[in-house]
Amino acid sequence: MKSPLKAALLAVAAVTALTTMAAPAAQAETKLKVVLNWKYQGPQGMFFLADDRGYFKAEGIEVQLDQGNGSGGVPALVANGTYDIGFGDMNALIELAAKKPDDAPVAVYVMYNQPPFTIAVKADSPIKTAKDLEGKTIGGPTNDGALKLFPAFCKTAKIDCSTVKISNMQPNLREQMLMQGQVDGVFGYVNTIRFSAKLAGIDEKQIRYIKYSDYGMDLYSNAIIVPKKMVKEHPELVRGFLKALNHGMQDAIKDPDASVAAVAKREPLIKIPLERARADATFADEMNHPEIKKIGLGNIDEDRLKRSITIMVDALSLPRTPTVAEIWDGSFLPPESQLPHKLF
> Which residues are CB-contacts of 299 (< 8 A; sequence separation ≥ 6)?
110, 292, 330, 333, 336, 339
List, by residue range, all CATH 3.40.190.10 domains of the chain.
28-113+220-338, 117-215
Could you give the CA distance from residue 343 to residue 253 in angstroms, rounded to a whole number? 6
Spatial separation of the C-alpha atoms in residues 129 and 157, rounded to whole Å? 9
Of the candidate CATH numbers 3.30.70.2660, 3.30.1330.30, 3.40.190.10, 3.40.50.920, the domain formed by 28-113+220-338 belongs to 3.40.190.10
pLDDT digits (tens, 9 = 90+) for 2-28: 454 444 444 444 444 434 434 333 457
Look at residue 13 in the predicted model and tell me its pLDDT.
Answer: 46
Cα radius of gyration (the chain): 23
Contact criterion met (CB below 8 Å) for 194 and 180? no
H or E, element range at 120: strand 117-122
Between strands 185-189 and 165-168, the pairing is unpaired
Identify the pLDDT of residue 344. Answer: 84
C-alpha 287/C-alpha 292 separation (Å) is 9
Please give the pLDDT value at position 12. Answer: 43
Q: How far apart are CA 304 and CA 318, in angstroms?
A: 19
Q: What single-letter amino acid sits at 112?
A: Y
- The 3-state DSSP class for residue 331 equals helix
Q: What is the pLDDT of residue 1?
A: 42
Burial of 281 by CB count in 10 Å (0-12 exposed, 13-18 middle, 19+ buried)?
middle
Phi-psi region of 134 (alpha: psi -120 to 50; beta: other; left: phi over 0): beta
pLDDT-flagged residues of the chain (< 70): 1-27
Percent composition of the chain: helix, strand, coil (DSSP 3-state, to 5):
55, 15, 30
**Alpha carbons 147 and 193: distance in angstroms, whole number:** 13
140/88 Cα distance (integer angstroms): 17
Classify each residue of 24-53 as buried b or exposed e, where b means 16 or more C-beta atoms within 10 Å of its C-beta.
Answer: eeeeeebebbbbbbbebbbbbbbbbbbbbb
pLDDT at residue 27, rounded to an integer: 55
Q: Given this model, what pLDDT does residue 26 score?
A: 44
Q: What is the pTM of this model?
A: 0.87
- Compute the distance between CA of residue 150 and CA of residue 191 in angstroms, rounded to an integer: 18
Which CATH code fits 117-215? Answer: 3.40.190.10
